[in-house]
């Protein structure tokens, strides 16, 4: 009755958006994009666009949110109503609430929270356009915004997903691959400590496949980590260059 669905990966191993199996979506990063925030970053990964902003550390209001021995993150992952195919209602969905929590827990280990007891650090991520991998792009952007704000960190956190689509193991799934594929494993990684700070999975994978997918995702994270550093340096290098010309 239903038509045979178009293949997501052709027999040359090329995906619907022209990428190879282990190729990241094209990434564009800018830091310090919002004037009011203490730190901010904008990341485009393929068609996914995320804006992240940091306010703080500042005194905790309401007081009961504060911890006596460390700073506390208040994270909000949110999708703009126009970010998806069918308009999404602005109120936080259960998915956004869960993702706000796992993203916060992915960022927590990277910051020296113990330096600022009794304070709050607000971290806002807005998905302006969604095409798969939004929680990963959000984590990448959040880490950049924190560095831009001058919050002391152990390492940058880079995030990337890998999974299984039509018998192939692929890196950085787009929205169609995520919806129609067999498995999706988003991972956030801090290379200095070989630390996986976000790990989720849905779908079905054998243990061997899972091991390979994790390797693939971590490889993607390392590449994104290098791009993060470049982007942070680029802000200051440009000023230096302008200086030397003028």
Partner 1 sequence: MPIFYEKRQLVTPGDLIAEGDYIAGDNTYKEDNKFYATRVGLVDHGDHRLSVVALKAFYIPSVGDLVIGKVVEVGFSGWSLDINAPYIAMLRASDAFDRPFKTQRDDLTSIFDVGDLILCKIVAYDRTRDPLVTVREPGLGKITRGQVTEVTPTKIPRVIGRKGSMIGMVKHETDCQITIGQNGLIVVKGKNPEDERLAIIAIRKIEQEAHTSGLTDRVTEMLQKEKGGVENVSET
Partner 2 sequence: MTSSIVAATVKKKQIAQLISLGKRLDGRGLTDYREIQIEPGVIERAEGSARVRLGKTEVMAGVKIETGEPFPDVPNAGVLTVNAELVPLASPTFEPGPPDEDAIELARVVDRGIRESKAIDLEKLCVVPGKKVFVVFVDVYVLNHDGNLIDASVMAALTALLNTKLFNYEVEDGEIKKKPGYTRLPMTNHPIAVTFAEIKDTLIMDPSLEEEQVMDARLTVTLEKDGKICAMQKGGSGYFTQEQILEAVKAAKEKTEELRKIVVGG
Residues near partner 2, by CB under 8 A: 94-95, 97-98, 100-102, 105, 108-109, 185, 190, 193-207, 210-211, 214-215, 218
Between 26 and 90, CB nearer to partner 2: 90
Under a CB-based contact definition with an 8 Å cutoff, are residues 157 and 188 in contact? yes
* Beta-bridge mates of residue 79: 127
* Beta-bridge mates of residue 42: 30, 51
Under a CB-based contact definition with an 8 Å cutoff, are residues 129 and 183 in contact? no
Contact partner, 17, from partner 1, partner 2, none, Cβ < 5-8 Å per class: none
Contact partner, 102, from partner 2, partner 1, none, Cβ < 5-8 Å per class: partner 2
| Element at 221 (helix H, strand E) | helix 207-245
Backbone phi, psi, residue 139, to 5°: -65, -45
Between 84 and 218, CB nearer to partner 1: 218
**Under DSSP, is residue 187 helix (H, G, I), strand (E, B) or coil?**
strand
Does 224 bind partner 1 (CB under 8 A)? Our answer is no
Enter the tokens of residue 242. Answer: 């302008």
Between 154 and 179, CB nearer to partner 1: 154
Between 97 and 239, CB nearer to partner 1: 239
Considering the complex, what minimum distance in angstroms separates the CB of residue 100 from partner 2? 7
| Element at 120 (helix H, strand E) | strand 119-129
Does 38 bind partner 1 (CB under 8 A)? Our answer is yes
Contact partner, 33, from partner 1, partner 2, none, Cβ < 5-8 Å per class: none
Enter the tokens of residue 151. Answer: 């919050």
How many amino acids of this chain bind partner 1 (CB under 8 A)?
35
Does 166 bind partner 1 (CB under 8 A)? Our answer is no
Burial of 82 (C-beta count, 10 Å sphere; 0-12/13-18/19+)? exposed
Between 54 and 231, CB nearer to partner 2: 54
Contact partner, 203, from partner 1, partner 2, none, Cβ < 5-8 Å per class: partner 2
CA distance 229 to 238: 14
Contact partner, 211, from partner 1, partner 2, none, Cβ < 5-8 Å per class: partner 2
């Amino acid at each position: 009755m239903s038509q045979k669905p178009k293949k997501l990966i052709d027999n040359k191993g090329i995906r619907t958006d022209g990428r190879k199996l282990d190729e990241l979506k094209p990434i564009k990063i800018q830091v310090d994009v919002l004037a009011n925030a203490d730190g901010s970053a904008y990341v485009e990964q393929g068609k996914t666009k995320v804006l992240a902003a940091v306010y703080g550390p500042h005194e905790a209001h309401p007081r009961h949110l504060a911890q006596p021995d460390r700073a506390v993150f208040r994270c909000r992952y949110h999708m703009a109503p126009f970010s998806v195919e069918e308009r999404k209602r602005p109120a936080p969905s259960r998915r956004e609430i869960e993702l706000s929590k796992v993203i916060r827990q992915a960022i927590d280990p990277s910051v020296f929270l113990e330096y600022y007891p009794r304070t709050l650090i607000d971290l806002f991520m807005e998905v302006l356009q969604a095409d798969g991998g939004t929680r990963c792009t959000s984590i990448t952007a959040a880490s950049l915004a924190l560095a831009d704000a001058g919050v002391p960190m152990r390492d940058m956190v880079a995030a990337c997903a890998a999974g299984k689509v039509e018998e192939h193991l692929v890196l950085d799934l787009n929205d169609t691959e995520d919806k129609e594929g067999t498995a999706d494993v988003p991972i956030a990684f801090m290379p200095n400590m070989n630390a996986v700070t976000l790990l989720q999975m849905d779908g079905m994978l054998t243990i061997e496949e899972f091991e390979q997918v994790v390797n693939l995702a971590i490889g993607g994270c390392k590449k994104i980590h290098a791009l993060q550093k470049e982007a942070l340096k680029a802000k200051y290098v440009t000023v230096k260059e302008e200086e030397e010309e003028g």
